[in-house]
Amino acid sequence: MSVRQDQRFLCHPNLTMPAERRIDPLDGSAYTYDESVAFYTGEYKKKAIEAYWNDMKVLKSAAKSKAKAKVKASDKIKDLQKAYRQAQSQVSKVEKAFVKAGVAPPADKGGRQGDEEVPNEFSYYLNPDGKQRERFQRETLTQYIITSTRGDKQLAMLFNSIQHACKVCSNSIERAGPAGLYGLADVVNATGDDVKKLDVISNDVWVSCLERCGVCAVLVSEEDEEAIIVTDKLGGPYCVAFDPLDGSSNIDCNVSVGSIFSVYKRSSPSSGPGNVADILKPGTECIAAGYCMYGAATELVITYPHGGKGGVQRFALDPALGEFLYVADMVMDPKGGKKIFSCNEGNSLQWDQPIVDFVEKCKDDGYAARYVGSMVSDVHRTLLYGGIFLYPADKKSPKGKLRVLYEGFPMAMITEEAGGVASTGMFKGKIQRILEVLPEHIHDRCPIIMGAARDVDAVLALYNEQKK
């Protein structure tokens, strides 16, 4: 029986028990119910009150610290919200500065606009969160041209004409089969190669686009023996060398081909027509260069180091829009990338010993051999995957096969801008950068060794060893 029940019992008016003396069986002491109740009730109350307060103390302190934590957390959130608002206002200030400077602001993730994966109809499956940029949010080549030329309308006009020439060539190549454009044109070009129908068409497209744009003084085409001096309105401030269709031996079997170009600033006075000296300069004078690859997709790769953010940019033609859309910056893997060597080994019996030794070493080191036979495609792969592309000098062709102005210089400039190395190897008694070659005539040739520093440097080391 609990003390509490005792109490109720003792309070009953008919009971006399409180007065009755009892003996405690344990210690023999005498007590009445009243005395017992007074004792136990007092003890109970004391203990209950103590226990209650002890409980309350714990609860109170827990509630207090909970409340304190709440206050702290809300302060923290407030601080974060404040920092976020400040950062946002900074971003919009910087964005406004970009707009004022006529330059496209970079994308959210720190790269240029469109650095993220290319959105397409598979985007949902690849990224259900939908964080990718839509096609209409990507930078177009036209936008790139406008921003990178920074108000130089003539250069913008020139780049735009190149863009247009590439689109027209791409379309002709796409339709070549049904349009009956495969096969030879029954002529031989300036450098003695058989000319294909598509070589002729591409050349007409490029010459026409560049002549008509009104900003070129001198044009050099692989397909024209002489430089074209633009006399209409005395031309303009720029000169362009181009290979309208590179890899023409691959045209008839639908393997990727390309166009290559390099741009120079005219140095002759604008009061008269331009001349060959305006373009017959070392590659270090080249102000912009690029190529367009007509492959499974058409891709235009351009470098204009003085404009925008420099480096090399890739744009792919979206056939549905007829517009080149930014894909990514072309940056070579500084470690050298995939182990690939790319050359026409059919010429190996004529090669210099260092080239023979290098290629043998590649095989020993587990390198893969890849060779399309279109410089544009072989260099494009080298830039993206890594390794080395070579068209070296040999005993039969001491200058190699590829042309300086419209193959060597533009590809060397792009390779260097993408972080690679472009060398002639041993050429005219010295090892030099391709860009330092001084062409003797507009269709001059030079040996080409370009790609990752890891591999190009290895070739040059073998040449240096041979010298000793």
The contact set with Mn ion (CB under 5 A) reads 222, 243, 245-246
Output the smallest distance, CB 204 to Mn ion, in A.
14
Q: Closer to ligand AHG at the Cβ: 117 or 252?
A: 252
User: Could you give the CA distance from residue 82 to residue 154 in angstroms, rounded to a whole number?
Assistant: 47
The type of residue at 336 is: G
Site residues for ligand AHG per CB under 6 A = 193, 222, 243, 246-249, 344, 373-375, 378, 391, 401
- Catalytic pick among 141, 219, 222, 278: 222
Report what 159 binds from Mn ion, ligand AHG, none; CB cut-off 5-8 Å by kind. Answer: none
Output the smallest distance, CB 248 to ligand AHG, in A.
4
Per-residue H/E/C for 379-437: HHHHHHHECEEEECCECCCCCCCCEHHHHHHHHHHHHHHCCCEEEEEEECCEEEEHHHC
Burial class, 201, CB count within 10 angstroms (exposed 0-12 / middle 13-18 / buried 19+) = buried
* Structure token pair of residue 463: 């040449």
Instruction: Please say if 35 is a catalytic residue.
Output: no
- Helix H or strand E segment including 116: none
Output the smallest distance, CB 347 to ligand AHG, in A.
7
Instruction: Please say if 117 is a catalytic residue.
Output: no
Report what 249 binds from Mn ion, ligand AHG, none; CB cut-off 5-8 Å by kind. Answer: ligand AHG
Report what 142 binds from ligand AHG, Mn ion, none; CB cut-off 5-8 Å by kind. Answer: none
Other C-beta atoms closer than 10 Å to the C-beta of 29 total: 9
Output the smallest distance, CB 88 to ligand AHG, in A.
51
Q: Closer to ligand AHG at the Cβ: 139 or 222?
A: 222
Instruction: Please say if 222 is a catalytic residue.
Output: yes
- Catalytic pick among 193, 211, 318, 345: 193
Instruction: Please say if 193 is a catalytic residue.
Output: yes
User: Could you give the CA distance from residue 202 to residue 205 in angstroms, rounded to a whole number?
Assistant: 5
The type of residue at 419 is: G
Between strands 421-427 and 184-188, the pairing is unpaired
Say what angle helices 375-385 and 409-417 make with each other, to 10 degrees: 10
> DSSP state, 345?
G
Q: Closer to Mn ion at the Cβ: 249 or 284?
A: 249
- Helix H or strand E segment including 324: strand 323-329
- Catalytic pick among 407, 416, 417, 455: 407
Instruction: Please say if 246 is a catalytic residue.
Output: yes
Q: Closer to ligand AHG at the Cβ: 193 or 285?
A: 193
Instruction: Please say if 333 is a catalytic residue.
Output: no
Report what 334 binds from Mn ion, ligand AHG, none; CB cut-off 5-8 Å by kind. Answer: none
Q: Nearest-CB residue to Mn ion?
A: 246
Output the smallest distance, CB 248 to Mn ion, in A.
5
Output the smallest distance, CB 293 to Mn ion, in A.
12
* Structure token pair of residue 361: 């070493």
Q: Is 113 helix (H, G, I), strand (E, B) or coil?
A: coil
Instruction: Please say if 285 is a catalytic residue.
Output: no
List, by residue number, the catalytic residues.
193, 199, 222-223, 243, 245-246, 407
